Structure 1
Amino acid sequence: MTFMRFFLACLLLLGASTQMPPARAASDSFSTEELLEGFEKTVFGLEYRSWSWRPYLVKKFTRPVNFFVHNLSSRDRTRTVYRFVKEIGNRVGGLTTSIASDPSTANFEVYVVDRAQYEQVVRKDIYKSDRARVPGRCLVRVVSGRGGIKRSAAVIVSDEGEFLFKRCLVEELLQGLGPMNDDEALIHSVFNDSSRHSRFTVFDQIILNMLYDPRIKPGMSMKQTRQILPLVARDARRSVR
């Protein structure tokens, strides 16, 4: 064997010995315990306690979610919101999303505003009260009852940078679908005001697929979900790849 052939053979052997095994699918990187904890921390409870009916019961839509976008911002973000609405519908089983041509037919309204408009829009269009408290950098309000979420409305700030806009868009629209609580322990989630996520993470996709599994009903308590939740988490994990 010539020196060059010997050298090439050694390189091939070295490459074979150091080749990394194929990475696991992202959805498999979370334990069942992490997913159960994530579900309970986001679905049961509210970031702002006064926003919804019975915070420690399941809240979800039971019919298609029809979005209408009010772009009041100096920059037109409509197409970006449309793309994310479509992504939600594609990634969450058991949930159908669409775009309404008229706000009267929508059950989820999205207001895209500049910061100077934020407080006025929240008071006038969301709470319809000049005395309403206006918390947070962005906001979503959910009106829910025993039969599920009746309607939601989100206010997204557009003019304070791309990160805040994308972060608010993802978090508020997803929270408007039911998982309304934030928790700093959820490092893989946008439902954590300390995290730097600004996209629909795999972890959150699994949580939303768990919530919209037909075995999870509006009005269920944490205790009522615990018996079936491990099976729901298994199936949601399989559906997210």
Structure 2
Amino acid sequence: MRRVILPICLMLGACMPGTSADMPSRAATHDQSTMPAMKRFSAPRPVPPRRSNRDIQRDFLELSFQLESGRPLQHFSRFEQPISIRVTGSPPPTLIPDLNRLVHRLRTEAGIDVARVRSDTANITVEAVPRSEIRRHLPQAACFVVPNISRLSQYRKARHSRITNWSLLKKREKLAVFIPNDSSPQEVRDCLHEELAQAIGPLNDLYRLPDSVFNDDNVHTVLTGFDMLILRAYYSPELHSGMTRAQVARRLPAILSRLNPAGDKIAPRYASSTPRAWIRNIQTALGPGARSAQRRTTAREALRIAEAVGWTDHRRAFSHFALGRLTQSTDPDFAQDQFVIAEQFYKRTPGTTLHRAYTASQLAAYAIAQGRGEDALMLLTPYLSTAERHENAALLATLMMLRAEALELTGRVAEARSVRLDSLGWARYGFGADWAVRAKLRDISALSPLKGPNG
């Protein structure tokens, strides 16, 4: 199961100088009853991996021969026949187009023989159900994948049986992916990418990966160039179901040299493994169920572990980012310092441009709250194209809404109005319902001192 961590990166409410109900806003003073059409991304532009094949070999083995819990897998498993996917339940209107787009990418970028079908004998069933039904079975999950069943109604009985035990699986033939049908279009799409990638390929997540959806930090939400390389290697003809780790390891160097020759010329970085204690603290800090004080305590402990391990990569940055996000409401100046430190570590780590876009949104929100419009514009401008390239409509809409507030602070009112209007189409895809879009507008508008009681 994936998508357990809350999307804290886009929750800017704690930066606000007051509650949104008390603050006049652009959304409240302009007629938003008719929203513009939802915007969708065009052709994908994945960034090729820029890492050593020796590092990627290690990543492949740990992704393929270990579960997220840390439990080792004895055998390599995959589909050994063309993969068919069908959709059941009550899919929202955006699900089928997004699934078709993903299937096309898997065929063209990963070279996997996969197709969407209507037959009830499909290998993978994507069942679209209410979010409450998913939470009834797995309270912490937004979506999940299970082997050897085809309906959510079968899951409770089969949950603790051998048929749904991933560690006993030697060959994949039938799986089910359960997707919420009442979440935002982006959340539905993100679940499709993450769960189908797991249904077809590796079962593990690694926090040390800066450029992958196989990472529970949820920074990347659509399959990346690295992910497509992993999946292409996963279905290379040199491998087959039932192989041991040692057997796969012997064949991987030649496979990666053939698929990613540039990786043979890059020196390995040998990133350290991620301690389970850090993972537990991060999941408690950012996942559902914990009280605010406990979240802050575990975020501080995660940072302590990151410092003790000596990390200087994106995991150290993420530790500061998480602590900053969780302390915004109690100590905004301290939180700002954490975001600044996070940016410093991200800047030193290759492949973290998207991470820096999230940090820029927090730093810009703080600048806007202080009336520093020009500073906010400098922070935001480089990352609009980043959000678009990584197909993150929620992040793109947030950056554009922040940019509109910064433009108003600098007196560019007409330009601000145009940018704000343009953001709404992306917001409809990223946040879903019109009320959610208006709520995001109110929250970000309330950051500006121009919108305060005397503004």
| Correspondence 1:142 to 2:163 | no
Number of the residue aligned with 1:42: 63
**What is the one-letter code of the residue matched to 1:141?**
V
Other structure's SS at 1:203 match: helix
Task: State the shift of 1:76 in Å.
Answer: 5.2
Number of the residue aligned with 2:176: 153
Question: 1:108, 1:198 → 2: CA distance?
Answer: 21
Number of the residue aligned with 2:129: 113
Task: State the shift of 1:149 in Å.
Answer: 0.8
| Correspondence 1:56 to 2:74 | yes
Give CA-to-partner distance per residue, 1:123-159, whole Å, 9 cap, x none: 6xxxxxxxxx665221011347776211111112243
Number of the residue aligned with 1:85: 103
Other structure's SS at 2:146 match: strand
Number of the residue aligned with 1:221: 244
**What is the one-letter code of the residue matched to 2:229?**
I
- Any runs of at least 4 consecutive aligned residues in structure 1 with deviations exceeding 3 A, and if so which? 25-28, 73-76, 143-147
Total equivalences in the alignment = 199
Question: 1:176, 1:232 → 2: CA distance?
Answer: 22
Other structure's SS at 1:156 match: strand
Question: 1:88, 1:39 → 2: CA distance?
Answer: 18
Give CA-to-partner distance per residue, 1:70-99, whole Å, 9 cap, x none: 142454522221221222122222x21112
Which structure dedicates a bigger proportion of its chain to helix?
Answer: 2
TM-score (structure 2 length as normaliser): 0.40
* Sequence identity percentage: 26
**What is the one-letter code of the residue matched to 1:96?**
D
Matches within 5 A, 1:154-173: 154-173=177-196
Number of the residue aligned with 1:126: none
**What is the one-letter code of the residue matched to 2:67?**
L
CA contact (8 A) 1:46 1:181 kept: yes
CA contact (8 A) 2:99 2:189 kept: no
Which structure dedicates a bigger proportion of its chain to strand?
Answer: 1
**What is the one-letter code of the residue matched to 1:136?**
A
Structure 2 spans left out of the alignment, 5+ residues:
1-45, 149-165, 263-455
| Correspondence 1:98 to 2:98 | no
Structure 1 spans left out of the alignment, 5+ residues:
1-24, 124-132
Question: 1:27, 1:77 → 2: CA distance?
Answer: 26
Question: 2:76, 2:187 → 1: CA distance?
Answer: 28
Question: 1:134, 1:220 → 2: CA distance?
Answer: 34
Question: 1:149, 1:238 → 2: CA distance?
Answer: 30
TM-score (structure 1 length as normaliser): 0.73
Question: 1:223, 1:48 → 2: CA distance?
Answer: 21
